[in-house]
Amino acid sequence: MRIGIVCYPTFGGSGVVATELGLELSKRGHEIHFITYNQPVRLDLISHNVHYHEVNVPEYPLFHYQPYELALSSKLVDMVKLHKLEILHVHYAIPHAYAAYMAKKMLLEEGITIPFVTTLHGTDITLVGSHPFYKPAVTFSINNSDAVTAVSESLKEDTLRLFDIKKEIHVITNFIDNTHYKFAFTDCQRGMMATDEERIITHISNFRPVKRIMDIIKIFYNVHKEIPARLMMVGEGPEREKAEQLCEELGIIDDVIFLGRSNEIDKILCFSDLFLLPSETESFGLAALEAMASGVPVISSNTGGIPEVNIQGVTGFLSDVGNVEEMSKNAIYILKDNERLKQFKKNAKTQSLKFDIMNIVPKYEALYKETLKNSKAVV
């Protein structure tokens, strides 16, 4: 199939999922065209059947806001015609499904039929979509997609609860390419980050308020009082400065390392002993799954799709949002005992195998085929 993929090209999980999906589909013989405003961060391989087309938004002083959806829908029209794309897969309802719908209508005027699949990742539903201002656009985009998927059962339920949805929502969970996460990384270079006695705790995100970055610092502070430990903070975002300030106030700044954005996530996870994800909400928690694939247990909140990934008392522990005390106790419980830590690590790795890319990508392939068949039947 010739497939166009639209995503946010940034460090967020949705961009990672879209990129990994496209790359795997290309290995399976499909021709993949990424269409977005920047080259996706994990797209380091452009080959004969992986292409990247940049969406440029011309700056017109007349426009107070430059219209990205307009530029994207025009680009989609051009790319569908030029590369004879058969189906579009857009990640996020707004603005991507919105733009895909417009492209579809424009192409129809020229006698070209292009169905599009929309994958919901969370933020558009739980945070942005539920804002009344965007609700009509999100509802319309979902109901007018040819097929819709959500990355967890929880996100499907949220979508059905918050919007008037007339379309079936298929749950196709996020996935992980386990070959990227070898259990025994040969060149872990743990010694560069901590001494043998210290435990390494890690958090990876875009440091948005929804990630509850201050809870992470407080949990680490509690753990650090009992166990020699270091905290790796990976990512960039609006809460970073406040987090650094809190570390300073609590006197733990020397043991907290802010690594910024990194392309070496697998290396960092390789030497980690525990992952923290106390988010306010999380449609899936891909970062937790990535940690588990590296054999890292997870202390998380019990919201959204996280309980579908992190299993209570097996791969880590889950607590109510904001329950820093309980999260700290559970972290200490896992980290205090070598044998227990080993068992949690093993369980985390085993659980991650359920989400292996080889089990999930065929579900998307099947959905594309069915969607194409249905759209041909309609014409």
Strand partners, 31: 2
> Which residues inside 197-226 make contact with ligand GMT, applying CB under 6 A?
206, 208, 210
Please provide residue 83's backbone torsions phi and psi, each rounded to the nearest 5 degrees: -105, 10
14 interacts with ligand GMT by CB under 6 A: yes
212 or 230: whose CB is closer to ligand GMT?
A: 212
20 or 86: whose CB is closer to ligand GMT?
A: 20
Buried b (16+ CB within 10 A) or exposed e, 19-51: bbbbbbbbeeebbbbbbbeeebbbbeeeeebbb
167 or 208: whose CB is closer to ligand GMT?
A: 208
Q: How far apart are CA 296 and CA 274, in angstroms?
A: 5
Per the CB < 8 A criterion, the answer to whether 217 and 255 are in contact is: no
Residue choice 19, 26, 36, 123 for contact with ligand GMT (CB under 6 A): 123
98 or 284: whose CB is closer to ligand GMT?
A: 284
- DSSP string across 207-237: --GGG-HHHHHHHHHHHHHHS-EEEEEE---
The pair of three-digit structure tokens given for residue 65, joined into one six-digit string: 């806001």
Q: How far is the CB of 170 from ligand GMT (least distance, A)?
A: 14
Site stretch for ligand GMT (CB under 6 A), options 62-70, 156-164, 275-283, 353-361:
275-283
How many residues belong to the site for ligand GMT (CB under 6 A)? 20
Q: How far is CA 335 from CA 130, 301, 303, 314, 342, in A?
A: 39, 18, 23, 14, 9
Q: How far is the CB of 110 from ligand GMT (least distance, A)?
A: 33
> Which residues inside 276-295 make contact with ligand GMT, applying CB under 6 A?
281-286
Q: How far apart are CA 163 and CA 201, in angstroms?
A: 38
Q: How far is the CB of 17 from ligand GMT (least distance, A)?
A: 5
Q: How far apart are CA 44 and CA 308, in angstroms?
A: 30
95 or 122: whose CB is closer to ligand GMT?
A: 122
177 or 198: whose CB is closer to ligand GMT?
A: 177
Site stretch for ligand GMT (CB under 6 A), options 5-13, 178-186, 333-341, 347-355:
5-13
Please provide residue 231's backbone torsions phi and psi, each rounded to the nearest 5 degrees: -115, 125
Contacts with ligand GMT by CB under 6 A lie at 8, 12-14, 17, 121-123, 126, 151, 174, 206, 208, 210, 281-286
